[in-house]
Amino acid sequence: MKNVYFKFVSLLLAPLILIGCASREVNPRYSADFYQDGTFVSAMDNQNIGFSETVKIIWQLFVQETDGLEPTAGQIPVNQLTQADLLNMPNNSVVRFAHSTLLFRLDGRFILTDPVFSERASPVQFFGPKRFHPLPIELEEMPFIDIVILSHNHYDHLDEATLKVMQSRIGHVYTSIGLKSHLQELGFSDSQVTELDWWESINDKSLQISATPAQHFSGRGMFDRNKTLWSSWVIKSTQANLYFGADSGYFDGFKEIGKRFGPFDMTFLEDGAYNQRWSKIHMMPEEVVQAHLDLAGKWLFPVHNGSFKLSTHPWQEPFERVEQAAKEQNVQIVFPKMGEIISVLQPLTETERWWQTSEN
Secondary structure class of 15 (helix, strand, coil): helix
| Rg of the chain taking only CA atoms, in angstroms | 19
Q: Which residues contact 79 (CB under 8 A, 6 or more apart)?
A: 136, 337, 338, 339, 340
Q: Find all residues with CB under 8 Å of 1, minimum gap 6, and list them.
A: none
pLDDT score at 12: 38
State the average pLDDT over residues 137-145: 97
Compare 114 and 59 and report the one with higher pLDDT: 114
In this predicted structure, which of 274-278, 290-294, 333-337 has the lowest mean pLDDT? 274-278
pLDDT in tens, 201-235: 999 999 999 999 999 988 887 777 888 999 999 99
Residue 44 has pLDDT above 90, yes or no: no
Close Cβ partners of 115 (under 8 Å, ≥ 6 residues apart):
97, 101, 148, 159, 162, 163, 166
* Mean pLDDT of the chain, nearest integer: 87
Share of the chain above pLDDT 70, in %: 81
Residue 131 DSSP class: P
Range of lowest pLDDT (53-67, 151-165, 211-225)? 53-67
Whether 20 shows a pLDDT value over 90: the answer reads no
> What's the pLDDT score for residue 17?
46
3 state DSSP class of 235: strand
Tell me what pLDDT residue 221 has.
Answer: 73
Digit-coded pLDDT (tens) for 189-199: 999 999 999 99
Mean pLDDT across 237-265: 97
Q: Is the pLDDT of residue 108 over 50?
A: yes
pTM: 0.90
CATH class for the region spanning 2-24+45-356: alpha beta
**Residue 40 has what pLDDT?**
82
**Phi and psi angles of residue 95, each rounded to the nearest 5 degrees, phi first:** -140, 140
Closest CA relative to residue 329, chosen from 283, 294, 293: 293
CA pair distance 185, 160, nearest whole angstrom:
10
Measured CA to CA, the distance from residue 188 to residue 201 in angstroms comes to: 21
